[in-house]
Every structure is written in structure tokens, then in C-alpha cells.
Chain A
Amino acid sequence: AQSVAQPEDQVNVAEGNPLTVKCTYSVSGNPYLFWYVQYPNRGLQFLLKYITGDNLVKGSYGFEAEFNKSQTSFHLKKPSALVSDSALYFCAVRDGTGANNLFFGTGTRLTVIP
């Protein structure tokens, strides 16, 4: 069965500091991994995805994520946080069996402190 865990409900970081939002996954077969961001009263916006290839994936707004197969992790990172990055972040996984549905984590609320 597919699942995603986001171990931190809340992450606080000072503006200008690097940020990391953690995600671990469990799937049958090859994992397809996604990060989404949700701003207040908005729908989820796609940030980046890992399908295959380089373990470091670059996405929108300066975000990147590192796929680690041995640790079954897909942590979201950004070298320098902005106050405007404050939002709810979701990790999601789709397995390689052909089904197109995503399994979402419970979300991590990122607060960037000025």
C-alpha cells in the first residue's frame, strides 16, 4: 500500500535561512513523488516532481527536493527562505502500478519569521 509521512506538523525558520520540509514514503514498485504548496483559501499548487533520473529535482519559486531511495525520503529544501514562502506544504506519492491517483501526506505548515 502507498503512504506518505510528513513527520512535522509545523516548521519555523528565520527569513534568509535554509529550510527543509521532510517527507518519507512507502510504495510498491517505483515511486513517483510530488510536492505541492497551499496558500490560505487557495487550491494546491504544484511545485516539483521526481519521476526518474537525477536525485535532486528543481522546481518552482527556488524550491528543490532530494530523492533518497535508501532512506525512502523526498525532503523539500530551499537555500534561503522568504516570508512569502509561509504556507502549507504537501508531499504526495503515486506508485508505478498504473493507477493515477496520488496519496497525500498530512501537510506541514511552514512559517518564515521576518
Chain B
Amino acid sequence: DAGVIQSPRHEVTEMGQEVTLRCKPISGHDYLFWYRQTMMRGLELLIYFNNNVPIDDSGMPEDRFSAKMPNASFSTLKIQPSEPRDSAVYFCASSLPGARGRIYEQYFGPGTRLTVT
């Protein structure tokens, strides 16, 4: 398996522009997570999905942020309009559903480094 795939790997945009980050989870993984990593705040969970349904979006910082998962193999995180403080590395992760009480680890993608100028 290719692992979790994220695109683009790097994104530089100007303040006010729309940014879309993409993620393809590992096949068969029912959970998908979006994280943001910065030096100041560390690793933050933004939102996670189970079977394409958003379960917890309490970490989404503002209404400028939105995430969708239209099918089991694709998710997007959109920022509109972007601001310089959104500059960070955004990670997508996926995991198995954990049936019958089994607990599975999350597998992370390589991340998208976003710079908003």
C-alpha cells in the first residue's frame, strides 16, 4: 500500500486566496483525521471522519476552515479566505475502524506545508 497520500506537498499563496488540501487515506481505513502542526501550538486535531461522516469538528479554528469527505478514498480541507496565521504543516491520517474492541494506530501522510504571505 502507498500509505496516506497528501497533495500538494507545498503550497504558497497570498492572503485572501482559497486553499484546498487533499488527502487519500489508506484503503480500508474507515477513520480519517486532519491535523495542523505549528511550532507555537504543536499538533492539533482539526476534524475527524468515520465512514465519510464528520464526527468531531471542534478543533476547526474558524468558519474559514471546512472539510469534506465525499467518498471513502478522498477528503479535502479548504481554507477560504486564507490568512498568514494559517501557515503550518497540515497532516492527514487514517486508521482502521477498531471492530470488536481492537484499538488501531493512526497512519500519517507526509503533510502539506502551507505558507500564506
A residues with CB within 8 A of B = 32, 34, 36, 42-46, 49, 51, 90, 94, 99-107
Contact = CB atoms under 8 A, between A and B. Distances in A.
Contacts, number: 46
B38 to A, nearest CB: 11
B42 A43 contact: no
Nearest to A45: B108
A100 B110 contact: no
Contacts of A45: 108
B103 A49 contact: yes
Interface of B: 4, 31, 33, 42-43, 45, 48, 50, 55-56, 91, 93, 95, 98, 103, 105-111
Secondary structure at the B interface, as helix, strand, loop or mixed, is strand
A46 B56 contact: no
B33 A43 contact: no
B43 A90 contact: yes
Contacts of A90: 43
Contact of A101 (B33, B103, B108, B109): B33
7 contacts: A49-B105, A94-B103, A100-B55, A100-B95, A101-B56, A102-B45, A107-B42
